[in-house]
Amino acid sequence: MTAATGGCMQAQLPLSSPHAHLGDPLVYFLSIPDTSSRWPRKVDPKRFSQGWAGEIEKQIKPARKWGWKRFLIWCPFGIEADGAIHLDAYPRAIAQAPFLTQDFVEAWKPVTRQGCEVIFYGGGLHYLKRLKRPAVLDRLDKALHPCLAAGGSVAFDASADVAPGTPEATALEYLTSRGVRWYVEAWPQKSCPNLRTANWVCDNNLFMTVKRQLDSHQPQGAWAAPLDELTGECIRLATPAPPSMKEQSGSPWTWTGKVVPQVVKEGYSIAFYLNELMSHGVSHVRLALQASSGLRR
């Protein structure tokens, strides 16, 4: 069953758990840096010759027409030369790659105002260690200013080990007090009870590995919080299909028909680590219908 919303076809998804956000567990993933690039921040300036407005015109607006309304933007201000994802990426980009910062807020505001969730994925909270509260809030405000001004959510790399009473915990409490939706990566640790209600992003392969370790009581999974105690949304980041599956299916995208229904049936959201999704005819409607079909079985 589909319904027209804002000129887009939206599939209505039945939910199998409260984890799915806003009734839509499907998330469109867009990577900004190219890890093999030699450009500052690992982003080719030619890609942003028209600024963020041009990038949104090329990537986000077509996705909206195909029904996508949730977006995970990986490292919008690029990454370090050594591949590190730094919390201070925005201040650094101002000096190193200003084309990533100049029209950011103005370009993204119309997207979030249309009711889309845009999750800006950036550096980890461990960069705040040993800072006092005033310094934590000041640094956080400077690092996240454009993302929050644009109306976005934020996700923090390698931040599933934030313990109570730490500067990192102070940062998350501050964002919560401001009404900001935030996510940590990856699986929350058992030693961090304050993350039991956190939203989290986890590579799907890692998710399946840790779940298998927990289910079979393997010592390797002893660090992970029990899945039934985690009440926040979990977005499982789907990596491309293995070569064997691509060869069998004849298309590198056919595998989504198997992955999506299973993930949604289990009560989780799923993001696609694929920039070329739409060019291969994989629309939000098609995936939503596949997911819905899987839930009815």
Which pLDDT tens digit goes with each residue over 248-263?
444 545 566 677 888 8
Q: What pLDDT was estimated at residue 260?
A: 80
Share of the chain above pLDDT 90, in %: 69
Structure tokens at 230: 């985690």
What is the Cα 151 distance to its own chain's centre?
Answer: 15
Q: What pLDDT was estimated at residue 249?
A: 47
For residue 185, pLDDT beyond 70 = yes
Among 15-19, 40-44, 128-132, the range scoring the smallest mean pLDDT is 15-19
For residue 3, pLDDT beyond 50 = no
- Taking phi over 0 as left and psi of -120 to 50 as alpha, with beta for the rest, 268 belongs to beta
Position 1 confidence tier, pLDDT thresholds 50, 70, 90? very low
Tens of pLDDT, residue by residue over 199-226, are: 999 998 899 999 999 999 999 999 999 9
CA separation for the pair 111, 117 (Å, rounded): 8
The hierarchical CATH code for the domain 2-296 is: 3.20.20
The three state secondary structure string of the chain is CEEEECCEEEECCCCCCCCCHHHCCEEEEEECCCCCCCCHHHCCHHHHCCHHHHHHHHHHHHHHHCCCCEEEEECCCCCCCCCCCCCCHHHHHHHHCHHHCCCHHHHHHHHHHCCCEEEEEECCHHHHCCCCHHHHHHHHHHHHHHHHHCCCEEEECCCCCCCCCCHHHHHHHHHHHCCCCEEEECCCECCCHHHCCCEEEEEHHHHHHHHHHHHCCCHHHCCECCHHHCCCCEEEEECCCCHHHHHHHCCCCCCHHHHHHHHHHCCCEEEECCCCCHHHCCCHHHHHHHHHHHHHC
Phi, psi of 31 (to 5 degrees): -95, 135
Q: Tell me if the pTM is above 0.85.
A: yes
CA separation for the pair 272, 291 (Å, rounded): 14
Radius of gyration of the chain from Cα atoms?
Answer: 19
Tens of pLDDT, residue by residue over 150-171, are: 999 999 999 999 999 999 999 9
Strand-strand pairing, 182-185 and 199-203: parallel
